[in-house]
Amino acid sequence: MPERLTDLLAALVRLDSTNPALVPGGAGEAPIARFVADWLTRHGIPADLDEAAPGRLSVIATVKGTGGGRTLMLNAHLDTVGTEGMTRPFEPVIQDGRMYGRGTYDMKGGLAAALMALLDARNAGVRGDVILTAVADEEHASLGMQAVLKRVRADAAIVTEPTELGVSVAHKGFTWHQITTHGRAAHGSRPDLGVDAIAHMGRVLGQLERLQRDLARRPAHPLLGHASVHASLIRGGQELSSYPERCTLQVERRTLPGETPEAVTQELEALLSALRADPTFRAEHHLTLARDPFSVTLDAPIVQLLQAAATRVLGTAPTVIGQTFWMDSAFLAAAGIPTVVFGPCGAGAHATEEWVDLASVEQCRRTLTATIQAFCA
């Protein structure tokens, strides 16, 4: 069993935890979940496995306090994206203070820091409980986080996704939409009979471009910038010499705190309603997935205590940041748990070269430990 932080991180990287929902045949989280649970148990910390779906395991572990204190959750995800284009993704290599390998940065560095902080909490004698949730499927549908939240609650949470040792208090959400335009199939030589569904989708694309320009003119979020919309995938037509009967467009709308899926849906419906003034234009629209944006106030106790702890560890006040990508922190916040994101430095999330700065992983661990001692005292 690895005892040092660097050795623990290396052991985690060696375990293939590719999300099978992203890569068919991927190893999934079961091997790494069992390793984490066994490692915790061997260090005197009870750990349970939670199976959100067959083979999709998360870990819930608790260091019980002496009683009367606040409960703090540390959260990390176990899964990684795929490894196409990488030569030896599961062989951790250390060079110039960095560890290279799939998952080092996103986010086994943060997981290792949280695990070691849990050991520190075991020896700290604080009054409140400290819970670790190491969850499955964050990179796809967050099955693990949603299942774990049915079993655990906390007074606050820290998600240890990489933040370059900044204190992240906001991130964007997103909604996915499917728009289908309907034409009339006919031979390509008979424009009198055919209606071009793809051409009609062109009108939709033009409206989306106008919407994007409008979003860019709206007031920006101080940490996240502007909301956005883009056309992601499109498919239509039957063959070259026929009028296309159907065209389907997949749209992604990135949202800011305060924007709701209902409001975004109405926004797109208004866009289509304007086009329906043409009686030949037929289209339908469905919201297919929504993930809320995340924010926490700067005066939340967990934010203030984490900032103070990081300042002591780093020797300077950490930067307060927002992040454009989505994280499980949104589910924690939606469950009524004040949440902040704090993690190590590095680069290469979802890229063919991924690395984490090892000194920053240790600084993350020390900041988590100091925050636990303050919050759970």
| Architecture of the CATH domain 176-291 | 2-Layer Sandwich (3.30)
- C-alpha pair distances (Å), 21 with each of 5, 13, 55, 79: 30, 19, 12, 10
What stretch(es) of the chain map to CATH 3.40.630.10?
5-171+294-375
* Residue 84 CB neighbours (<10 A): 8
Query: 5-171+294-375: which CATH number, 3.40.50.300, 3.30.56.10, 3.40.630.10, 1.10.240.10?
Result: 3.40.630.10
Contact 356, 104 (CB under 8 A): yes
DSSP string, 259-308: --HHHHHHHHHHHHHHHTTSTT-EEEEEEEEEE--EE--TTSHHHHHHHH
Report the pLDDT value the prediction gives residue 120, as an integer from 0 to 100: 97
d(CA 353, CA 277): 51
Category of 232 on φ-ψ map: left (φ > 0), alpha (ψ -120 to 50) or beta: alpha
What stretch(es) of the chain map to CATH 3.30.70.360?
176-291
Helix (H), strand (E) counts: the chain: 9, 17
Report the pLDDT value the prediction gives residue 1, as an integer from 0 to 100: 82
Helix/strand/coil for 60: strand
Helix/strand/coil for 272: helix
pLDDT tens for the chain, 377 residues: list them.
899 999 999 999 999 999 999 999 999 999 999 999 999 999 999 999 999 999 999 999 999 999 999 999 999 999 999 999 999 999 999 999 999 999 999 999 999 999 999 999 999 989 999 999 999 999 999 999 999 999 999 999 999 999 999 999 999 999 999 999 999 999 999 999 999 999 999 999 999 999 999 999 999 999 999 999 999 999 999 999 999 999 999 999 999 999 999 999 999 999 999 999 999 999 999 999 999 999 999 999 999 999 999 999 999 999 999 999 999 999 999 999 999 999 999 999 999 999 999 999 999 999 999 999 999 99
Predicted structure pTM score: 0.94
